[in-house]
A = this chain, B = another copy of it.
């Protein structure tokens, strides 16, 4: 619902490939409303469809208007994007900083994210219509992002900030100390049995083993595998000792 109230506005887009990539990026991040302001007449629609891949419905349902005013007339927040810093641009903040305010506003208002031309960005007149400016963090050696990449970073930050995405969780639980200790006991036994160490050095070697397996938490599955190996080694070692 919140995401339905957020639109991506492209001013004077020149390349169909970018427009298509933007449709896909929007779909990847849960957005669907695209508005083109005065796109280039030479814009390659076949290329746009190709790059949109499974997001062609966003491309088909786009709105096209002649001016930025028309595109954002019914919006409250109008977030412009810029690579440069200058007049009007000094209050720019990073997308991660803006994301919570954009999402909060989009709960009950229309919000626009406005992106300028591939070669020259937004004009000062267009920036004046924006209520706020977004600047994507980038290297001072090459600060200018491809248009579709800039849209992706902004949409991605909104998607992550929305918390829609469930954090990936370990499917298996971390193992308990008694299980882990049982595993170390088995390994101590088998390492003695195969002659990897003698009783005198065993405690010291087992400290090394413990350090290796303490670098990251072991899951119950991990420990089951390690115990299986020890068990199998013991069996094989006993076979070897048979006359």
A residues with a Cβ closer than 8 A to B are 17, 21, 24-25, 27-30, 51, 53-55, 85, 90-94, 96-97, 135-139, 141-146, 148-149, 152-153, 156, 159-160, 164-165, 167-168, 170-172
Q: Can you sample 15 A-B contacts with CB below 8 Å?
A: A24-B142, A24-B146, A25-B149, A27-B141, A28-B142, A29-B138, A29-B139, A55-B142, A90-B170, A94-B165, A97-B167, A137-B160, A148-B149, A152-B152, A156-B156
A169 CB to closest chain B CB (Å) equals 9
A164 CB to closest chain B CB (Å) equals 8
Contact, CB under 8 Å: A139 / B27: yes
Most B-side CB within 10 Å, residue of A90, A137, A146, A164: A137
A165 CB to closest chain B CB (Å) equals 4
Compute how far the CA of A138 lies from the CA of B25 in the bound complex, rounded to whole angstroms.
9
Chain copies in complex = 2
Q: Tell me which residues across on chain B come within 8 A of A139, comparing CB atoms.
A: 27-30, 159, 164
Contact, CB under 8 Å: A168 / B25: no
The DSSP consensus for interface residues of chain A is loop
Contact, CB under 8 Å: B28 / A145: yes
Closest to A171 in B: B90
Compute how far the CA of A91 lies from the CA of B170 in the bound complex, rounded to whole angstroms.
6
Most B-side CB within 10 Å, residue of A53, A142, A148: A142
Contact, CB under 8 Å: A146 / B21: yes
Q: Tell me which residues across on chain B come within 8 A of A152, comparing CB atoms.
A: 145, 149, 152-153
Contact, CB under 8 Å: A142 / B51: no
